[in-house]
Structure formats: structure tokens, C-alpha cells
Amino acid sequence: MLFKTKKRYEVRTAGDEVLKETAKPVAAITPEIRDLAQRMVESMEIFDGIGLAAPQIGVLLRMVALDVPPADDDTRLTQGELALCPLMPLVIVNPEILFASAEVGEREEGCLSVPDIYAPVVRPQRVMLRAQTLDGQLIECECGNLLGRCIQHELDHLDGILFVDRLTREAAAEVARPLDQLLHYGSKHNFKRVKIK
Ligand code: ZN
């Protein structure tokens, strides 16, 4: 007979101070880092996200889990989507954006740490990503479409920035009320979403 141990998963929500901190680089890929990567992937899946940064589960390290589909057929795929999407779910370590395209675009974003709130954010269309995999492999590729967007959103988390910090005045006004409600709710629940599985 099999007994399944239930695990508790938590995601920190807007208002938690940890989401405003700058995360530290990962010094070496140790067994603890691999365990953390596993927990990040499980948390991302359980909360139905396409990306999750370590600070969102309360760990101030520069690690990001991604599970992003490539853009659909009519869109030109970037080198990053071709290289990375087949590897997902994927955890990247010490990611950096080497440079971003001058061309920007607007797209609606959401966040596991800002549940049920969506708003358009303007960001560069493509970014050159450099990161390491858990196997120590160096990634360097141009990422656009949803992947480029997700990478920029997740890397912001490593520097204590939420997408709601990047809204235009108009977009910020649109979400001001639900965001206030979220902060109020969070203050009563230790700024945590919890799922047991
Ligand atoms: Zn987020």
C-alpha cells in the first residue's frame, strides 16, 4: 500500500517585505539548490504559473523556474524559445539580461504573488538572456514573445520589483482598488497563499 505524504506549498503575496528585497547570486549548485529548484517547479505547477522566482517562496536567491510555451505558429520564434521551451519546466540560475531591444510592446501580465489582478505592462520586445542551468550549462540566447516577457517579469522579482510597480498611471488607477483589497487581505493572512498537495 502506498502512502502519499502531503506537502505544503506557499507563495508570498504583494505586501510581503521579501518581495521587495534584492536576491543574492547562487554561489554553487549544491544538493540544497537542487532541492530548492524542485520545490520551485512544484510550487509553480501547483499554483498554475508559467514562471516563479525564488523570492516568491521566500528565498532570496537568484533562481527562476519557467514553464512557458513557445508562441503559436504564425509568430516567428526566437532563438531562446527554440532552445529553452523544449526543456521546460526549467530552472535557471543567476540569470541576467545582457541587453534589451529598443522596440517595446504592451502585454497583459499577472503574477502568482498578485492573484486575480491583471494589467498591461510595457517592456522591451526581446532580451538577450544569460543564465546557467542546474547542470552548469551556460545559456545565452535572445528571448522574445511570451518567453521574453516572462523572463523580464521574473528577473524583476530578483530585484524586488512587481509588475504592478511598472504600470502606467492609467493602468495603476484601474487596479488600485483590487490591489488595496489584496494588501488588506494579505495583512490578515501573513501575505501567503497556501496549498496542500
Ligand atoms: Zn510574478
Share of the chain above pLDDT 90, in %: 92
Q: What is the mean pLDDT of residues 17-40?
A: 98
Q: How far is the CA of 162 from the centre of ligand 1 (A)?
A: 6
CA neighbor of 28 nearest in space, from 65, 61, 72: 61
Q: How far is the CA of 3 from the centre of ligand 1 (A)?
A: 34
Q: How far is the CA of 112 from the centre of ligand 1 (A)?
A: 6
pLDDT in tens, 145-187: 999 999 999 999 999 999 999 999 999 999 999 999 999 999 9
Q: Would you list the domain boundaries of the chain?
A: 8-196
| Count of all residues that appear for the chain in the document | 197
> Does the pLDDT of residue 1 top 60, yes or no?
no
Q: How far is the CA of 58 from the centre of ligand 1 (A)?
A: 13
Point out the catalytic residue in the list 142, 154, 170, 174: 154
Q: How far is the CA of 155 from the centre of ligand 1 (A)?
A: 9
Question: Is the four-CA dihedral 26, 30, 48, 145 of positive or negative sign?
Answer: positive
Give pLDDT, residue 2. Answer: 62
pLDDT in tens, 67-107: 999 888 778 899 999 999 999 999 999 999 999 999 999 99
The yes-or-no answer on residue 154 being catalytic is: yes
Residues 193, 189: Cα–Cα separation, whole Å:
8
Q: How far is the CA of 59 from the centre of ligand 1 (A)?
A: 14
Say which residue the cell 499554483 belongs to: 47
Q: Domain 8-196 classified CATH 3.40.50.2300?
A: no
Share of the chain above pLDDT 70, in %: 98
> Does the pLDDT of residue 3 top 80, yes or no?
no
Q: How far is the CA of 1 from the centre of ligand 1 (A)?
A: 39
